[in-house]
Chain A
Amino acid sequence: MSLIGGPKKNSQHLALFRERLRYLMAIVFVAFAILVARLWSLQVTRGEEYYRQTRRNVVDARMLPSVRGKILDRNLESIADNRPAFNLYGKAGDVDEEAFERIARVLELTADESASMQARIEKAHKRKRRSSVLLLEDQSRDRASMVKQESHLLGELEVRDEPYRHYPHGRALAHLVGYMNQITGAEFDEREAEGYVSTDLIGRYGLERSWESYLRGKRGVERFVVNAKGERIEGPDTDALIEGARFVPPVAGHNVILTIDLALQEHIEKLLRRRAAGAVAVIEVETGKILALASTPSFDPNIMTGHLTRAREAQMLSDPRKPFIDKTLRQYYPPGSTYKFVTALAALKESLVSAEEPLSCTGVHKQGRRVFRCTSAHQKVNLEEAIQHSCNVYFWKLSERVGIDSMAQIALSFGFGEPTGLGLNGDAAGRVPTKQWYEERDTFKIGHTLNAATGQGDVEVSVLQLAMAYAAIANGRRLFVPLLVDRVESASGDVVVQYEPQLRRMVDVSDTSLDLIKHGMWRVVNEAGGTAYEYARSQMLEYAGKTGTAQVKSMRRRDDDENLKDWHPDRDHAWFAGYAPAEKPEIAFVVLLEHGGSGGKHAGPVGQAIVEAYFEGRPPVDDDSKDLP
């Protein structure tokens, strides 16, 4: 017996072996074919995609925030500015449970802060666990220096000094300037192409929102090569891996310069803050530029930007005075007697009354079964006297002569019933009712005309509309589009856009009629018996105005309103609108105190203070009364 075996046995055996060998070969070839196919699919079919992924693996980018443009007043005083803020960054992959607990303990994080940090880490885990992401936003200097010093305890964190939006004057002009907060998921999806990143703040309200594209600037980027741990690798061969520029410097946003006079604005806001709710507009009559536009109650955009706590937000949203509604633009009110000039001009235009014709007022006016009451029995009054005393009966009688549609025509001509064209914060149209308007809803009654004659019933205007109309009265029929932004400048000071005053139209009334109205308004303030004479006459200069006390439709005080002592939702709205000086007017103003009471008594002094403040320094307002919450 040999190792080869007997010849017969061996050949038998070999035959079997060869037969099985075919299967063996088939298996070997199929196996290698599968491997080749797999490699083909990875390297040839999908190779390019994987190549890009490996590039992304090693190239990380750090965003260099751009400095957002400032918002400045006409004297270049900052209203919205930037301050340095300490943001804490970290890599989600580094912050495990142990590190998280330690960071929370050492920095003494509140429950809110821990929760938001936890959320950010979880989000980062899904996308980029080895790049630095923002973990704690806008930290105190103490915490920032703690992170720098205690690196053995807080080594996972990195402090970055990044500009943060800041409003040096707090509440001043809050409604116009607005605020910023974090971009939402939906907005981010829509605007990613514009270069937003998911942690960006975006202008949320006011100018910050409407002028976002000018203010924003352009973020820069620094690209670098990292290893699997996210450590930065520098070397000659690393540059070749980076596609695109290694360093793109950020471009600062443009500055927006307003027509606002911040000193006047702040003075007005101080005056208003002593009232529960109200609004003021001051317009330069020759240009339509807005000098001041205030709405109270207001909010502090510094609190709104980034970190409003839920409790505070809920409190602000539930405030019946609606601190988020811009009462100069968004809200409309019955204008009351400030609207009477419309009735007068309509009657004069159609020659249905002369300047001298006296109409008698017995204190009541009967219309069918309804009785309309005047403030007192004015006896016989002509047009100017009717304006001076704000005699309702006179205007009711006029309105019966002219009808509601002729009045509406004049009102529309003065810009009521349509947006002012400012294009900010939902600039409201208000309402100028016509016969047709009533018939579309119900039946038209003569009572509607009487209501419209005194700015009651369904007439609704915004504060800014009224101010633009008074500016048109003051400047001789020129109705302007309100101008809020004077110009846009680049960070280096070059003018990018300059905005010029824009005339909307010449109001279709005669100069003689207008002079009658203006003289009537002069008498309101400067002649004994005028509704503002007692409360708002100025020793400093003569100016003209018209008071209004607008009745409020069935408003009920709600139980939960009781904590606001000065808030009386059943009281009348107090109006005072006018222009100053009476000769050669420079400014037009409107004061509205929501549920503030009588126009002359309550709104009048505020108007007087505004006029005097504008023309002679700013006398101090006694600030002993505390701001309402």
Chain B
Amino acid sequence: MRRKAATLLIPGPRVGRSRGQSAFADFDWVLLLLVLTIAGLGLANLYSATYSTAHSAKFSQQVVWMSLGTLSYFAFSMIDYRNLHRWTWVAHVLVVLAILAVRFFFEAVKGSQRWIMLGPIRVQPTELAKLAVILTLARLLHDWDEYTIDRRTVIFSIGALVLPVLLVAWQPDLGSASLLGLIILSVSLMLVQTIWPIIVAMLTGLAAMPLLWERMHAYQQGRVLAFLDPGADPTGAAWQTSQSVKAIGSGQISGKGFMEATQNHFNFLPEHWTDFPFSVWAEEWGFLGSVGMLMAFLFLVLWIVNVGIRAQGKFGQAICLGVAAMIFFHTVVNILMVTGWAPVVGVPLPLISYGGSSVLTIMTGLGLVSSVSKRRREI
């Protein structure tokens, strides 16, 4: 039987210098600084990437998204994240419905249904799904820890968690589906007491890969094949990657300088604002700049994990680990993708890639981390 989670709403013991006198008491300034730094780099890079092209409007749009994202960041850092515990299912159900709506009511773009059109605004529910899944997972882990739960509830919860992953894969958006899976797996591996069932599930999943291949769309198979043998199709999918690799390599040690990326300015880089902004960055700032950006991401991920360690209880820990995993996998997969070591699966680089849904999702997630950080334990 489930017990009422009344205790959840009682704020935990506060530790630290200030005790709630101001909204910015115990505020995590380091996290904010990191986030704003990366967001700033992203905006500058997007400006260079779209300047004097047909996509120059994307810069000002991104500024708007960034501003909204920052607002969301502050809003969620002010809210006590523990209050979200009771809203997780609501968020989850809404997201699942949104994904279904995309599937059934909106037109496909490039063979895949990913967008909800609200007038001029296009929302990508898969991005929001990442946040919903993190919250649901956090609640599940928390509830497991705190309450005795019967088997039916466990199966139902896992089912609820896997459902959006399957729906996203069905869109089809294999990149996002895999990322969702990776987030769930990594958080679970960190926080579940006994991990062997998860490992069994992973191995089963790997074994099912050939079956998945059968079900894949031609363009998806094409991308994977192009990745495995780039020489076979120099005009299509592999051409994108080879141009991206050239762009990155041509940056050499110190880069060509801001706004000097020829690969980008002469349109050799496809989708340079969504999938390939790192190529622009690497071309303009070289090895030093690329490693600098990587270090910023590494530091961000480590900082979030650090916040997670000190979070009070599994709900906060799971949120932090989930957001850290989200940023970590997005970063790694995106950079492997643009450097030619992973197939082009449409995974954006957090805060660097253009895209409102992605920016809002990441900023909100980071806001949650900030909220956790504010209410951390002192070790």
Residues of A near any B CB (own CB < 8 A): 1-5, 13, 16-18, 20-21, 24-25, 28, 31-32, 35-36, 38-40, 42-44, 46-51, 53-55, 57-58, 93, 125, 129, 225-229, 233, 241
Contact A35 B294 (CB under 8 A): yes
In the complex, chain A residues whose CB is within 8 Å of the CB of B328: 28, 31
Given known contacts A20-B190, A35-B294, A57-B263, A46 and B305 CB-to-CB distance under 8 angstroms: no
- Contacting B268 at CB < 8 Å: which of A39, A51, A57? A57
Contact A2 B248 (CB under 8 A): no
How many angstroms from the CA of A28 to the CA of B250 in the assembled complex?
Answer: 27
6 nearest interchain CB pairs?
A: A50-B249, A47-B252, A227-B266, A228-B267, A43-B287, A54-B250
- Contacting B146 at CB < 8 Å: which of A1, A28, A48, A49? A1
A-B contact pairs, 29 of them (CB 8 A): A3-B8, A3-B312, A4-B377, A5-B313, A17-B190, A20-B190, A28-B302, A32-B294, A32-B297, A36-B291, A38-B335, A40-B287, A43-B248, A43-B290, A44-B252, A47-B249, A47-B251, A47-B253, A50-B248, A53-B249, A54-B247, A54-B268, A57-B243, A57-B266, A58-B266, A129-B235, A227-B266, A228-B266, A228-B267
How many angstroms from the CA of A5 to the CA of B245 in the assembled complex?
Answer: 50
**Chain B residue with Cβ nearest A3:** B313
Given known contacts A5-B146, A28-B328, A43-B282, A50 and B262 CB-to-CB distance under 8 angstroms: no
Contact A42 B266 (CB under 8 A): no
In the complex, chain A residues whose CB is within 8 Å of the CB of B235: 93, 125, 129
In the complex, chain A residues whose CB is within 8 Å of the CB of B268: 54, 57-58, 227-228
In the complex, chain B residues whose CB is within 8 Å of the CB of A20: 189-190
How many angstroms from the CA of A199 to the CA of B100 in the assembled complex?
Answer: 58
In the complex, chain B residues whose CB is within 8 Å of the CB of A233: 266
Contact B263 A54 (CB under 8 A): yes
B375, chain A: closest CB distance, angstroms = 10
In the complex, chain B residues whose CB is within 8 Å of the CB of A18: 309
B141, chain A: closest CB distance, angstroms = 11
Could you tell me how many residues of chain B have their Cβ less than 8 Å away from some Cβ of chain A? Answer: 55
**CB contacts between A and B, total, < 8 Å:** 141
How many angstroms from the CA of A214 to the CA of B3 in the assembled complex?
Answer: 100
Contact A48 B252 (CB under 8 A): yes
Given known contacts A54-B246, A233-B266, A43 and B302 CB-to-CB distance under 8 angstroms: no
Given known contacts A17-B190, A17-B317, A43-B290, A58 and B246 CB-to-CB distance under 8 angstroms: no
B155, chain A: closest CB distance, angstroms = 24
In the complex, chain A residues whose CB is within 8 Å of the CB of B297: 32
Which B181-204 residues sit within 8 Å CB-CB of chain A? 186, 189-191, 193
Contact A51 B250 (CB under 8 A): yes
Which B293-336 residues sit within 8 Å CB-CB of chain A? 294, 297-298, 301-302, 305, 309, 312-315, 317, 328, 332, 335-336
In the complex, chain A residues whose CB is within 8 Å of the CB of B367: none
Which B251-303 residues sit within 8 Å CB-CB of chain A? 251-253, 262-263, 266-268, 282-283, 286-287, 290-291, 294, 297-298, 301-302
In the complex, chain A residues whose CB is within 8 Å of the CB of B7: 1-3
How many angstroms from the CA of A28 to the CA of B189 in the assembled complex?
Answer: 14
> Chain B CB within 10 Å — which of A38, A43, A55 has the most?
A43
How many angstroms from the CA of A2 to the CA of B11 in the assembled complex?
Answer: 10
B113, chain A: closest CB distance, angstroms = 28
In the complex, chain A residues whose CB is within 8 Å of the CB of B10: 2
A560, chain B: closest CB distance, angstroms = 51
Given known contacts A3-B82, A4-B313, A38 and B339 CB-to-CB distance under 8 angstroms: yes
- Give per-residue flags for B324-355: 1 if the beta carbon is below 8 A from chain A beta carbons, else 0: 00001000100110010100000000000000
In the complex, chain A residues whose CB is within 8 Å of the CB of B245: 42, 50
Contact A35 B251 (CB under 8 A): no
Contact B266 A225 (CB under 8 A): yes
B276, chain A: closest CB distance, angstroms = 13
Given known contacts A57-B263, A227-B267, A47 and B250 CB-to-CB distance under 8 angstroms: yes
Contact A24 B190 (CB under 8 A): yes
Contact A3 B12 (CB under 8 A): yes
In the complex, chain B residues whose CB is within 8 Å of the CB of A39: 248, 282, 287, 290-291, 294, 339
**Chain B residue with Cβ nearest A38:** B339
How many angstroms from the CA of A227 to the CA of B267 in the assembled complex?
Answer: 6
Given known contacts A24-B190, A38-B341, A53 and B294 CB-to-CB distance under 8 angstroms: no
**Chain A residue with Cβ nearest B339:** A38
How many angstroms from the CA of A332 to the CA of B362 in the assembled complex?
Answer: 90
A287, chain B: closest CB distance, angstroms = 62
Is there a chain A Cβ closer than 8 Å to B28's Cβ?
Answer: no
Contact B287 A44 (CB under 8 A): yes
In the complex, chain B residues whose CB is within 8 Å of the CB of A40: 287
In the complex, chain B residues whose CB is within 8 Å of the CB of A28: 298, 301-302, 305, 328
Given known contacts A2-B7, A57-B268, A50 and B282 CB-to-CB distance under 8 angstroms: no
In the complex, chain A residues whose CB is within 8 Å of the CB of B243: 57, 228
Contact A32 B298 (CB under 8 A): yes
Contact A49 B249 (CB under 8 A): yes
In the complex, chain A residues whose CB is within 8 Å of the CB of B282: 39, 43
In the complex, chain B residues whose CB is within 8 Å of the CB of A226: 266
In the complex, chain B residues whose CB is within 8 Å of the CB of A57: 243, 246, 262-263, 266, 268
Contact A35 B336 (CB under 8 A): yes
In the complex, chain B residues whose CB is within 8 Å of the CB of A3: 7-8, 12, 82, 142, 146, 312-313, 315
How many angstroms from the CA of A1 to the CA of B4 in the assembled complex?
Answer: 11
A366, chain B: closest CB distance, angstroms = 83
**Chain A residue with Cβ nearest B290:** A39
Contact B305 A24 (CB under 8 A): yes
> Chain A CB within 10 Å — which of B243, B245, B251 has the most?
B251
> Chain B CB within 10 Å — which of A39, A47, A55, A227 has the most?
A39
In the complex, chain A residues whose CB is within 8 Å of the CB of B309: 17-18, 21
In the complex, chain B residues whose CB is within 8 Å of the CB of A35: 294, 332, 335-336, 339
How many angstroms from the CA of A537 to the CA of B193 in the assembled complex?
Answer: 125
Contact B262 A58 (CB under 8 A): yes
Contact B246 A53 (CB under 8 A): yes
**Chain B residue with Cβ nearest A57:** B268
In the complex, chain A residues whose CB is within 8 Å of the CB of B12: 2-4
- Give per-residue flags for B139-159: 1 if the beta carbon is below 8 A from chain A beta carbons, else 0: 000100110000000000000
Which B117-151 residues sit within 8 Å CB-CB of chain A? 142, 145-146
In the complex, chain B residues whose CB is within 8 Å of the CB of A51: 249-250, 252
How many angstroms from the CA of A50 to the CA of B249 in the assembled complex?
Answer: 5
How many angstroms from the CA of A36 to the CA of B295 in the assembled complex?
Answer: 10
**Chain A residue with Cβ nearest B288:** A43
A44, chain B: closest CB distance, angstroms = 5
How many angstroms from the CA of A268 to the CA of B335 in the assembled complex?
Answer: 78
- Contacting A46 at CB < 8 Å: which of B249, B262, B302? B249
In the complex, chain A residues whose CB is within 8 Å of the CB of B263: 54, 57-58
B32, chain A: closest CB distance, angstroms = 22
Contact B286 A43 (CB under 8 A): yes
